[in-house]
């Protein structure tokens, strides 16, 4: 995203979008872009960024993994242009970038080996040069809740939301950014600023299963079930999250989870930026709302928002012995009594 001249450096940041924002979490990208102008935020995307390696690569080969991550930091440092803050909307990307910066500084021998690898591409990174932060941290602590409240034109009053941060964002906390490592309140506070009815959710930092959906689906289904069942028991209309992995697991595998346990939950999960966009007066189709597999139509009807109808896919289900694949929720919409 190109920057106009005369931009206030207080609201100017370098953006590391990450792979999911261009694919499975496209709705996150669309809704994030929709809230930038009302809050006078300016992002400049890192040129030629690459995948951060997600979560697995660090457990396979440490030096190549950190070199892969640090390449993005080196590129960002070259183009920082008045700001030293890198924003990562994806929790996994945020964690990897912050981890690489931290350990390159804490372990000089690691930093030297990583820089040796970077030098092959004409790059170098001095740890501590950049400040790696998550999008919600920027919104709450830089832009501020007052500015967010002032941008609201359609309060979300009447929408019962559970705030789900996920496990990767608040810990490890290298720079003491979060209010609490087990029950941080940043997402709660932001949703309240939008006018939503925020429900206390003790599981806000519990794991969604991560990539266990592909490795051990039964374990993943147990974790997803716990999150969805508790949100349902507390009377939530929907869940709001900051993490593409969490959103994908709870949305895409909820139907498979229901099939596995014989339950009938219908708990939508949206990105917090989608709810911000609604509160700022944007229309659902501008925010990627309606593309989720577990429809938010009935949930958002509580605040008078009409969700566009998307066409159901007609592809048959894969064989039961295969890995569970996400399928669009096809049952009649509406809250149903769960079999517990």
Is residue 313 one of the residues assigned to a domain?
no
Q: Helix H segments across 59-157?
A: 62-78, 91-106, 108-119, 135-138, 145-151
- What dihedral angle (degrees, nearest 10) is formed by the CA atoms of 235, 237, 240, 246? 80
**Residue 266 and residue 231 share a domain:** yes
**Residue 115 and residue 47 share a domain:** yes
Predicted pLDDT of residue 3: 40
**Residue 208 and residue 172 share a domain:** yes
**Residue 163 and residue 283 share a domain:** yes
Predicted pLDDT of residue 308: 87
Is residue 269 one of the residues assigned to a domain?
yes
**Residue 92 and residue 180 share a domain:** no
Range of the structural domain that residue 170 is part of? 154-301
**CA distances for 227 relative to 162, 164, 192, 199, 298, angstroms:** 10, 9, 21, 13, 20
Q: How far apart are CA 323 and CA 215, in angstroms?
A: 8
Q: What is the CATH number of the domain that holds 193?
A: 3.40.50.11810
Predicted pLDDT of residue 323: 43
**Residue 158 and residue 39 share a domain:** no
Is residue 203 one of the residues assigned to a domain?
yes
Q: What is the pTM of this model?
A: 0.89
**Residue 185 and residue 243 share a domain:** yes
183: DSSP letter: S
Predicted pLDDT of residue 81: 74
How is 15-59 classified by DSSP, letter by letter? E---GGGGTTTHHHHHHHHHHHGGGT-EEEEPTT-----TTTGGG
Domain total of the chain: 2
pLDDT along the chain (340 residues), means of 10: 44 95 96 97 96 77 93 95 92 96 97 98 97 98 97 98 96 91 96 98 97 92 98 98 97 97 98 98 98 97 92 44 44 37
**Residue 84 and residue 171 share a domain:** no
């Amino acid at each position: 995203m190109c920057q106009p001249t005369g931009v206030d450096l207080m609201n100017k940041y370098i953006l590391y979008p990450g792979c999911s924002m261009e694919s499975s979490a496209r709705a996150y990208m669309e809704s994030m872009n929709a809230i930038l102008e009302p809050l006078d935020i300016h992002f400049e995307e890192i040129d030629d960024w690459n995948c951060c390696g997600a979560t697995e690569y660090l457990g396979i080969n440490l030096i190549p993994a950190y070199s892969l991550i640090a390449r993005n930091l080196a590129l960002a440092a070259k183009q920082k242009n008045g700001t030293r803050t890198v924003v990562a909307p994806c929790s996994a990307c945020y964690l990897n970038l912050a981890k690489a910066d931290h350990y390159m500084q804490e372990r000089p021998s690691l930093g030297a080996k990583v820089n040796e690898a970077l030098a092959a591409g004409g790059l170098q990174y001095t740890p501590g040069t950049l400040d790696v932060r998550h999008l919600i941290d920027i919104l709450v602590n830089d832009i501020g809740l007052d500015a967010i409240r002032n941008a609201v034109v359609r309060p979300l009053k009447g929408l019962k939301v559970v705030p789900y941060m996920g496990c990767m964002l608040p810990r490890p906390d290298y720079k003491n950014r979060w209010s609490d490592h087990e029950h941080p309140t940043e997402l709660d506070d932001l949703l309240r600023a939008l006018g939503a009815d925020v429900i206390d959710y003790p599981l806000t930092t519990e794991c969604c299963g991560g990539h266990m959906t592909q490795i051990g689906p039964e374990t993943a289904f147990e974790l997803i079930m716990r999150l969805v069942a508790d949100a349902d028991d507390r009377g939530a209309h929907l869940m709001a999250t900051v993490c593409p992995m969490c959103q994908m697991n709870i949305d895409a595998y909820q139907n498979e989870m229901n099939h596995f346990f014989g339950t009938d939950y219908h708990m939508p999960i949206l990105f917090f930026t989608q709810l911000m966009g609604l509160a700022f007066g944007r229309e659902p189709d501008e925010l990627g709302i309606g593309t989720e597999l577990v429809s938010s139509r009935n949930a958002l009807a509580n605040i008078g928002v009409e969700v566009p109808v998307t066409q159901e896919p007609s592809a048959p289900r894969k064989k039961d012995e295969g890995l569970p694949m996400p399928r669009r929720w096809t049952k009649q919409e509406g809250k149903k009594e769960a079999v517990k």
